[in-house]
Structure 1
């Protein structure tokens, strides 16, 4: 994949995350934090995990190895989560927009949460982040249905249709 491909992929990721956030914004506070017995208990917890993972990977790309993900308790309500994620998406796109082809091939080392050293090419890490978020957006769609809310479609091709 080229730098241009990654810009498109992360523009899609930002759009899809925003679609899910818009749907989640319609939930009442109780629905937002209700335990639905999923991989992460609630819509809030799943969204915080997604955002936290995107934040952790952005830090790793910058040479920083955070010791932990963000905690759901840091986000008392939806507005706090959305504000933090909006800023993160801005930072993430700034990073992506300044990539070079050489940077994509560069191997980046980091220390995971278990203290283990890992090393991958930046391009693989970028692909991983979008794939990870796609997986959890599917979980949020199911959770929204369980709450009687309407999930949104975040298909990759729909992104292109709506961008026209």
Structure 2
């Protein structure tokens, strides 16, 4: 699998996981939002702001962010729409890139004004891993408040969108493999 193909899959997974997490937060919002709920939305907003910063960096344009968050977190509906739009931008962006473009280094400024340089594939890898880290934080909050959180694993995503992965042709792996000989 090429880096480009993997990145496309990872960004589709990110969109799937973001959607599930937002649905979990929406259920919590409907019940009775508390301080932890607002903390979770603020964390998700931070991850989104970083996604937007890297949209600008990847396009070699300046962004207006001086911080990786906002003074106040947006309403969940607004944040949900913005995240969905940004996730779709990333998927379309990676689908358009050639392998050579992925390795091209881009210079940019961090929000504190210090210079940085990363390849496109490094930036895209950062966006995916950064978002996953913060979805994990929000998932932990949801688990504390509701005793469960949405599924958020790459394997879970792959097996949901490609059910044929669950079984090899002509085989069903329903038993554990034999113990290794020692």
Q: Tell me the TM-score normalized by structure 2.
A: 0.79
CA positional deviation for 1:31: 5.3
Which shows bigger deviation, 149-158 or 94-103?
A: 149-158
Note the aligned Cα RMSD (angstroms). Answer: 2.1
Find the residue that maps to 1:20 and give its secondary structure: helix
Stretches of structure 1 lacking an aligned partner (at least 5 in a row)? none
Partner of 1:100: 98
> What is the DSSP-based 3-state SS (H/G/I as helix, E as strand, rest coil) of the residue aligned with 2:107?
strand
Paired residue for 2:177?
none
Q: Once the 2 structures are TM-superposed, how far is the Cα of residue 58 of structure 1 from its aligned partner?
A: 1.2
2:45 alignment partner, SS class: helix
**Measured at CA, do residues 74 and 157 of structure 1 come closer, stay the same or move farther in structure 2, by a change above 3 Å?**
closer
Moved over 6 A (4+): none
TM-score (ref. length: structure 1):
0.87
In the TM superposition, what is the alpha-carbon distance from 1:149 to its structure 2 partner? 5.4
Shift of residue 70 of structure 1?
4.8
Gaps of 5+ in 2: 163-182
- Judged with a 3 Å threshold, the aligned counterparts in structure 2 of structure 1 residues 20 and 114 are, in CA distance, closer, same or farther, namely same
Of residues 51, 56, 59, the one that matches 2:53 is 56
Q: Secondary structure at the match of 1:118?
A: strand
1:109-142 residue CA offsets vs partner (Å, 9 max, x unmatched): 1011111111111111111111111111110111
Q: Is the 8 A contact 1:23 1:150 kept in 2?
A: no
The reply on whether 1:23 has 2:24 as its aligned counterpart is yes
CA distance in 1, matches of 2:47, 2:86: 11
Please tell me whether residue 5 in structure 1 is matched to residue 6 in structure 2.
yes
Structure number with bigger Rg: 2
